[in-house]
């Protein structure tokens, strides 16, 4: 993470070409609610911030930081951070579709959780492990995600083409305990305070109907 490498003063002076957070249009094609909880997996840069955003979404039952895109044998922080394992830092979101749908989670993901136009990076975090990706759990999610990316590209919501990939058939692996609930546990850490915590403020601003003040935390 950039936050582990840079002090607050140094980080605050760095600039990166990034799209501003914005409320993107809703997905035209959503996933049926069905019965019982559903699972989604998203990757958009450092998982501290992505997890922190989804932990404040009403209807989310759990949001767990981890790795997706590579094998079980390389699903550890030390190896993933080399950028050579195929993994992305990801978040597994278990949600109640009666309260928040898959399409609505994608809308939050694209609006406030990250910049979906950056290729293999998010700001100061550079490498394949920081790519923008969705890891569908089934064919319906895969189609909904692909259709939504196409919809947003066609509507030219962003200045440049979206970089988000849809990667099917990938397993999610839970990250080490010290990565869980990192935003909530470290609110004044420079990287969190300057880069990640503002995303929760944007969630509250753009999606007041889905925002909850109390984060749902990963249990020890």
> Do the beta carbons of residue 122 and residue 112 sit within 8 Å?
no
The single residue of 31, 46, 91, 175 carrying the catalytic annotation is: 46
Q: Report CA 60 to chain centroid distance, whole Å.
A: 13
Is 46 assigned a catalytic role? yes
Active-site residue list:
46
């Amino acid at each position: 993470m950039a936050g582990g490498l840079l002090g607050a003063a140094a980080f605050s002076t760095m600039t990166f070409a990034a799209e501003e957070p914005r409320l993107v249009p809703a997905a035209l094609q959503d996933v049926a609610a069905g019965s019982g909880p559903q699972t989604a997996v998203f990757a958009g840069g450092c998982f501290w911030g992505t997890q922190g955003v989804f932990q404040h979404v009403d209807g989310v039952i759990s949001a767990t930081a981890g790795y997706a895109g590579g094998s079980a044998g390389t699903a550890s922080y030390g190896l993933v951070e080399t950028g050579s394992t195929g993994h992305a830092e990801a978040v597994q979101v278990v949600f109640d579709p009666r309260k928040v749908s898959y399409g609505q989670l994608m809308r939050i993901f694209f609006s406030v959780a990250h910049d979906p136009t950056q290729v293999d990076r998010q700001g100061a975090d550079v490498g394949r492990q920081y790519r923008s990706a969705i890891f569908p759990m089934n064919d319906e999610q895969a189609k909904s995600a692909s259709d939504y990316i196409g919809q947003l590209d066609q509507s030219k919501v962003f200045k440049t083409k979206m970089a988000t990939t849809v990667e099917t058939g990938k397993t999610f692996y839970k990250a080490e305990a010290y990565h869980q609930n990192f935003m909530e546990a470290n609110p004044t850490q420079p990287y969190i305070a300057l880069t990640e915590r503002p995303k929760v403020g944007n969630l509250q601003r753009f999606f007041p109907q889905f925002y909850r003040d109390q984060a749902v935390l990963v249990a020890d």
